[in-house]
Amino acid sequence: MKLIWMTTLSTLPVAPLWFNSFISKWKVKAMMEKIFNSLRKKSTPLIGSLKRIGALVRKELESLMKDRLALIVIFLLPIIITGAMGMAQYKVTTLDDYYMIAVINQDTTLYNDSISLSNELIHEMYRHANECITVPMQSYDLAVYLLWQREINAIVVIPNGFTTILAASGTSPIPAYINLTLDGSDIEGQGTVIKGITSAIAELKIDYNFTKNEIIPSTQAIWPAETAGISDIAITIPLILPMLLIGATLVLTSQSVVGDIPLRRMLLTPAGKSEALIAKTISYLIVALIQIMVVLVILIPLLQFQPLGTLFDFVIVLVLTSFFGIGLGIFISVASNSRLQANQYFIFSYLVLIVILLAVPVKAIQRLDPLQLAREAIAGVTARGLPLIDVGAQCLYLLGFSAFFLGLAFIVFFFKKGLV
């Protein structure tokens, strides 16, 4: 039986080659179709999610373009603030811009029987205290009253014997001195007055060679001389731009979720909460880029400001600054239960940032303030010409704070029940 079966199998006709080729091609085609169908099924949710995010971004931008307050914040606010920084070159100086110093000269002694060094000091104050106006006065009580009324900013009293003691040039056991009384509530005025008087004293000592055994420093504030444009802008840009960008994005984003009424209905559709927040983040990043472009158009072509670093690095730092405002603003909007509460949180958080920057005496805390981080990064790029890697620590901190608040926003939004 076994031999008969083998003989029978051997006598069967052999399939042609074209049939085998057809079968193999059909199997490959079926396998490829199976793979493509599987990939299509897996990618369909991702494609659908991207489409929904794109639609939400378009809807968010359209609603912003219809909001007059948003348009003012996006376009008019940076134009006004950046333009104001450039108006320094057109500043009109009035008497209100000077600091008044009342000088009471009680000295009656002379140097070489003809020169009053007290009068020479007053003349030096006229010449070198550039931001001050020297007003001769006789009565100290009257000067104190005017200082209390804020009609003057300081009182200088030159005591009798000033010329004789100063002419001794270090041989007298009594040092030459003047009495300076300042308004303790005028912080800015104190610095200007002390600077002017110190400069006048130094010039007097140099003119009459009263510098024996003494070193008089020659001070100079270094700011890159290669910076084209207005020097005042180079100083104020690191101070003002972080406040502008973070404040503007906070104003816009702090109402982005809690004030979005259509979002409540939209979350009943296949659009998820995470997609809504991603769309809002992308939308406000686009808005931040528009704001940054407006600022750069005013600074560079109109005001002729040229950062020492590359423009790319400057833009990256500005984007990271705005991104922090977006992250904090979206978190505030998600955590708030009403528009009023969102406004309160916005004001509170922005004031905290400013107070940390200006009033907290601990440098370690100040350096973690996003406003200070942005200031250091912007100053490093624009004034010192540092590459992005040299301000990388500040940039990473800004990015980390932004990611932290955005992550909190996603978590709070995911567990929030009252939105839908």
User: Which are the contacts of 340, defined by CB distance < 8 A and separation ≥ 6?
Assistant: none
- Alpha-carbon distance 21 to 28, whole Å? 11
**Packed helices 370-382 and 311-335: angle between N→C axes, nearest 10 degrees:** 170
- Residue spans of the domains in the chain: they are 56-88+230-415, 95-207
Phi and psi, residue 220, nearest 5°:
-150, 130
Q: Is 151 helix (H, G, I), strand (E, B) or coil?
A: coil
Average pLDDT for residues 192-209, to the nearest whole number?
86
Looking at residue 383, what is its pLDDT? 83
Lowest mean per-residue pLDDT among 93-102, 153-162, 235-244, 262-271: 262-271
Looking at residue 14, what is its pLDDT? 46
CATH number assigned to the domain covering 95-207: 3.40.1710.10
- Alpha-carbon distance 154 to 360, whole Å? 28
Q: Contact, 41 vs 216, CB < 8 A?
A: no
103 strand-pairing partners: 136, 156
Q: How far is the first Cα of the chain from the last one, in angstroms, to the nearest whole number?
A: 80
Q: Which residue has the higher pLDDT, 39 or 354?
A: 354
Q: What is the pLDDT of residues 284-339, one digit of tens each?
A: 999 999 999 999 998 888 888 888 889 999 999 999 999 999 999 999 999 888 88
Lowest mean per-residue pLDDT among 91-105, 148-162, 299-313, 327-341: 91-105
Say if pTM beats, i.e. exceeds, 0.85.
Answer: no
Q: Contact, 101 vs 125, CB < 8 A?
A: yes
Lowest mean per-residue pLDDT among 30-39, 86-95, 101-110: 30-39
Q: Is 420 helix (H, G, I), strand (E, B) or coil?
A: coil
Looking at residue 265, what is its pLDDT? 52
